[in-house]
Structure 1
Amino acid sequence: MHGLEIDPRCVEIAVFALALAAWRYPDETGSPLGVRVEMPVPGIACCGLKVAASPQDWEALVPDDAPNAAHLREGLSRLHETFAQAPLLGSLLDPSKANKGDLFAADYPLLADLLGQALASERQIPLFRDEEDRWELALSAQGLMEAARLLDARYHLVITNVPYLTRGKQSEAIKKYCEDHYPEAKNDLANVLLERCLELATVGCGVTQVVMPQNWLFLTSYKKQRESLLKGCELEPVGTAGYGCL
């Protein structure tokens, strides 16, 4: 189980809740297992942390003698620009889209290792220094490197209650990002997040479940998105919820 949240405080609460459940989990005698070395690290990260380094700091990670060094630096610069918007984009942030459509920028697979190095340098302290305080440190928000790993992975089940925000109420930065990457869903942030969740689902066997407004099911402004979903997805039952709907 993995989780992403834009608010660092919510990440801390979620990690603590998981840690408490793990501490209280009963052994074969029914007694709580308590804190133990073999406890897994929570797969929860904050996708709303802003990078501290400058684009030049990231570009400096590329050796001068590296093949296509200029293209790699350009690619890292684009990635820095994307991650600088993390507090605004949250889980919409997609490392693989930073250089999409740019024939002169490096491909994302070539940049993955360099991105890991760049994001690792953003951490002020290591997440786990030793066994004694590994869970104490886990109670704070994990860094962008973990968030990037989760945002780049694919999952069998993606489930969330998406945020709702019509295009008229979106900031210019959000408007542009949605129009550039999700033109068929841009009229509401909820529909954009639906598309992002579908991207995060494993191709062929992934399932996406979301809670969102229902007006897009019939409004003409979402016709192209509905057509795309009907052609590209297998829709399970869609149900309405709210006052008087049980």
Structure 2
Amino acid sequence: MAAPMPFLFEKIDDWAALLLPQDLLSEESIITDIQKAILPEDTHDVEIIGWLYQYYISEKKDEVFAALKKNKKITPENIPAATQLFTPEWIVRYMVENSLGRLWLNNNPASHLRSQMRYFVETDPEQDILKVSSPEEIKLIDPCCGSGHILVYAFDLLFSIYEEEGFSPREIPRLILKNNLYGIDIDNRAASLAAFALTMKALEKDRGILEAGILPNVISLQNVEVDSTGLKVSAELSASFAYLKDAKNLGSLIPVSQNILPEIQALKEEFRAAPSSDLNTQEKQDTLSLALTQLEYLSPRYHCVVTNPPYMGGKGMNPSLGSFVKKQYPDSKSDLFAVFMEKGLELSVRTGYLGMINQQSWMFLSSYEKLRNKI
């Protein structure tokens, strides 16, 4: 399974890795616990992956918050446990339908999509709508994707959009994975589960998706030390490279200017076209390619940004994260949820859509006055 789903399964170097645990089928095994705890009908929906993962990290979350009460800051490795919260289905549907769904209806007023969107809110017609001529153009990102619940429902809605446009059911899953959906997280496990959930969703529609070699556009950000010696890169790209050293801490907040997207894509293509035969040079190119891919995901190019952002007040932020937020987002620095409001707007194209769960405090507290004016 490492070949079709490398994001979830590692290559096996030792035959011993194929051996199953001795008590895998015993009465005390995790398999038995799962069978007892989960109803058969619950296993039919990929949503269960997210619920299971939230339970899996619950003990760690309790430990982190207990430490926080003792004035211990939340370290980068503990941010996922402290901030991850599975998003209920109705909230996911509300956000996706009023962003992705609205984008499509604005461009296709006669669409039948409206009838299947239970949580869509009718509003006055927009004057300056974001134009899309084909579903293949649409790009939606969840910059804090967790186990992928938002992306999974967006897949369903996109499938209906493609069907309405006359695309064949077999080609639609491949087009969605290739063109439309993007996810970012700092938790390796969560990102793997999000990619797995999307793959399972695609498999429901196309049993040949694994053989096609099309992988979901979901990444877990990695700390990367970039050596750009000998490369002609802009000052803006060099600045973004520097932030990648702390990617597991800063996550999707890493700033990437819209101006450098063509430069990023050109460098990636250069490495693809001319891989080095020298091992040291190739290793350097691989590191640069990883860095460029991460920055490409973080570039402002999305029609819809939909997410359940992390909630963390300034008191919980570690020094590096706190300093970064104060410098880059002074108008929303009080809490990460507000910071991600700004970041969501930065990730989207002009007149794009932002769907996000937020605390109501940003609407009336004086500390968010500048943020309100900016929005």
Q: TM-score, normalised by structure 2?
A: 0.43
Shift of 1:119: 8.1
Shift of 1:61: 3.1
Q: CA RMSD in A?
A: 3.0
Aligned pairs for 1:70-149 (under 5 A) are 72=233, 78-96=239-257, 108=260, 112=264, 116=268, 120-122=285-287, 143-149=290-296
**Relative to 1, partners in 2 of residues 1:153 and 1:215: Cα closer, same or farther, differing over 3 Å?**
closer
Question: Is 1:228 aligned to 2:374, yes or no?
Answer: yes
Question: Is 1:16 aligned to 2:196, yes or no?
Answer: yes
Shift of 1:12: 1.2
Contact 1:82–1:95 at 8 Å: present in 2 too?
no
Alignment match, 2:228: 58
Q: What's the CA shift string for 1:116-153, capped at 9, x where partnerless?
A: 46985228xx9xxxxxxxxxxxxxxxx44332211114
Q: 2:254 and 2:234 mapped to 1: Cα distance?
A: 20
Alignment match, 1:203: 350
Shift of 1:75: 5.9
**Secondary structure of the equivalent of 1:222?**
helix
**Secondary structure of the equivalent of 1:195?**
helix
Shift of 1:210: 0.7
**Relative to 1, partners in 2 of residues 1:3 and 1:194: Cα closer, same or farther, differing over 3 Å?**
same
Q: 2:350 and 2:285 mapped to 1: Cα distance?
A: 29
Which of the residues 109, 129, 150 maps onto 2:297?
Answer: 150
Alignment match, 1:166: 313
Aligned pairs for 1:17-56 (under 5 A) are 17-25=197-205, 32-33=207-208, 35-37=210-212, 40-47=214-221, 49-53=222-226
**Relative to 1, partners in 2 of residues 1:115 and 1:171: Cα closer, same or farther, differing over 3 Å?**
farther
Identity of aligned residues (%): 27
In terms of fraction of residues, the more helix-rich structure is 2
Contact 2:195–2:216 at 8 Å: present in 1 too?
yes
| Structure 2 counterpart of 1:58, one-letter code | S
**Relative to 1, partners in 2 of residues 1:119 and 1:16: Cα closer, same or farther, differing over 3 Å?**
farther
Q: 1:164 and 1:2 mapped to 2: Cα distance?
A: 22
| Structure 1 counterpart of 2:229, one-letter code | E
Shift of 1:202: 1.5
Contact 2:305–2:353 at 8 Å: present in 1 too?
yes
Runs of 4 or more off by more than 4 Å in structure 1?
A: 72-77, 107-111, 113-120
**Relative to 1, partners in 2 of residues 1:84 and 1:119: Cα closer, same or farther, differing over 3 Å?**
farther
How many residue pairs are counted as aligned between the two chains?
Answer: 182
**Structure 2 stretches of 5 or more lacking a match?**
1-180, 272-282
Q: 1:144 and 1:87 mapped to 2: Cα distance?
A: 13
Shift of 1:2: 1.1
Contact 1:24–1:33 at 8 Å: present in 2 too?
no
| Structure 2 counterpart of 1:79, one-letter code | S
**Structure 1 stretches of 5 or more lacking a match?**
27-31, 63-71, 98-106, 127-142, 230-246
**Relative to 1, partners in 2 of residues 1:149 and 1:109: Cα closer, same or farther, differing over 3 Å?**
closer
| Structure 1 counterpart of 2:369, one-letter code | K
Shift of 1:190: 0.9
Shift of 1:163: 0.6
**Secondary structure of the equivalent of 2:197?**
helix
Compare 73-82 and 109-118 and name the one that shifted more. Answer: 109-118
Q: 1:12 and 1:175 mapped to 2: Cα distance?
A: 28
Alignment match, 1:65: none
Alignment match, 1:212: 358
Q: 2:346 and 2:192 mapped to 1: Cα distance?
A: 26
**Secondary structure of the equivalent of 2:349?**
coil
Shift of 1:41: 3.0
**Relative to 1, partners in 2 of residues 1:120 and 1:152: Cα closer, same or farther, differing over 3 Å?**
farther
